[in-house]
């Protein structure tokens, strides 16, 4: 990890849209929802999801996912945004 953290927020994201997705679309949709919310909050297009958060989202398989997840969004000095589990 190269840069220092400029700002940090802890939020709970409702994954209702991903949980109700049909077939095997739940986990990929949850990742997209989290990235879109982080882009909106941090005003940056360079968003990276931490591996541990990814493992949490995919822990129940591709077809089911969590209903809510609490994340920590960190905006770094170089403009990158990291999303970590909180």
Q: 27, 57 in Cβ contact below 8 A?
A: yes
CB 81 within 8 Å of CB 71: no
What residues pair up with 10 in beta bridges, in sequence order?
A: 72
Neighbours of 18 (CB within 10 A): 24
Cβ atoms < 10 Å from Cβ of 62: 12
Q: Specify the pTM.
A: 0.92
Q: What are the pLDDT digits (tens) for 39-82?
A: 999 999 999 999 999 999 999 999 999 999 999 999 999 999 99
Enclosing domain of residue 40: 5-85
The tokens describing 50, both together, are 């931490």
Tally the domains of the chain: 1
CATH of the domain at 62: 3.10.440.10
pLDDT tens for 7-45 read 999 999 999 999 999 889 999 999 999 999 999 999 999
């Amino acid at each position: 990890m190269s840069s220092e953290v400029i700002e940090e927020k802890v939020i709970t994201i409702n994954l209702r849209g991903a949980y109700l997705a049909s077939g095997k679309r739940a986990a990929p949709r949850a990742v997209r929802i989290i990235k879109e919310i982080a882009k909106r909050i941090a005003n940056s297009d360079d968003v990276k999801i931490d591996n541990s958060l990814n493992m949490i989202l995919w822990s129940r398989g591709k077809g089911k996912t969590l209903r809510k997840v609490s994340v920590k969004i960190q905006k770094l000095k170089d403009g990158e945004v990291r999303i970590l589990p909180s």
